[in-house]
């Protein structure tokens, strides 16, 4: 049995809504095997981020080398990167890997807390140059210099429309060859949106790891995000986590099928 192996390079969310925690749940739900290189520890909950502690660069690289050397990797998902130094070091490592890379340029948490300084954002250019797909939301796209700036790196870009106005969300893919695809869906009215970007990017990466075409991997991941939003457990007093298990207890479901 071949299982898609996804290396996740991202930060840890102590509240369990986003970051590594959301990534692991998503990859698992898509039938993949998640592996991690944690770039930062955060103390956060649904109300905000109280503290951030970057992981030393050498430790980030050692985590990457450890899993690549033994387990192998079919795709990489990059989220919160921690620092400019880590961004450049990770880029050096990933240059040797010939696998799809999905880069979610995390800058600000759903609560509004800053997760990347100006130097780190500037270093994102290295990672975008290696990426198969970059998945910015509208504020992140503006901070990166706009769609033309992202496309100039050679990566495809998925412009996420969740921060836009109106009752319809439009997610637009523009590939390096100029080909476009658009997904339009009704907005789901809920405050429990913490981790949507992490979940979407990890879902896409798992699809690419399994050999799916890019547009198909994106469409499936969007469908999963919407299902998880609809099944949010309504935890916390702020922007709560989504329901990655879709309102079910998977093990109990499997026992019922025996």
Catalytic residues: 160, 193, 195-198
d(CA 72, CA 88): 22
Secondary structure (H, E, C), 166-203: CCEEEEEEECCCCCEEEEEEECCCCCCCECHHHHHHHH
Q: Are 46 and 39 in contact (CB under 8 A)?
A: no
Q: Are 112 and 135 in contact (CB under 8 A)?
A: no
Q: Are 35 and 71 in contact (CB under 8 A)?
A: yes
Structure tokens at 218: 């994106």
CA 100-180-203 angle, to 5 degrees, is 40
* Cα dist from 245 to 231, 241, 248, whole Å: 8, 11, 6
- Coil vs helix vs strand at 239: coil
Map tokens 């033309």 to a residue.
148
């Amino acid at each position: 049995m071949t299982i898609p192996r996804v290396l996740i390079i991202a930060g840890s969310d102590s509240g369990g809504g986003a970051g590594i925690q959301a990534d692991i749940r998503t990859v698992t739900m898509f039938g993949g095997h998640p592996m991690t290189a944690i770039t930062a520890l955060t103390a956060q909950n649904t109300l905000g981020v109280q503290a951030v502690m970057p992981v030393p660069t050498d430790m980030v690289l050692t985590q990457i080398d450890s899993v690549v050397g033994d387990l192998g990797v079919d795709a990489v998902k990059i989220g919160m990167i921690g620092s400019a130094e880590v961004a450049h070091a990770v880029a050096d490592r990933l240059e040797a890997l010939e696998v799809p890379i999905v880069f979610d340029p995390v800058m600000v948490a759903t609560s509004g807390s800053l997760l990347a300084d100006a130097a780190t954002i500037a270093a994102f250019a290295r990672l975008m140059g290696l990426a198969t797909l970059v998945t910015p939301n509208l504020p992140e796209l503006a901070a990166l210099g706009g769609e033309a700036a992202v496309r100039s790196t050679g990566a495809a870009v998925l412009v996420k429309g969740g921060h836009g106005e109106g009752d319809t969300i439009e997610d637009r893919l523009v590939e390096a060859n100029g080909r476009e695809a658009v997904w339009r869906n009704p907005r789901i009215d809920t405050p429990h949106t913490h981790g949507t970007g992490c979940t979407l990017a990890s879902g896409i990466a798992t699809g690419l790891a399994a050999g799916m075409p890019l547009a198909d991997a994106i469409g499936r991941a969007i469908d999963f995000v919407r299902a998880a939003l609809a099944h949010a457990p309504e935890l916390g007093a702020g922007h709560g986590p989504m329901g990655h298990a879709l309102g079910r207890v998977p093990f109990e479901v499997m026992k019922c099928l025996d």
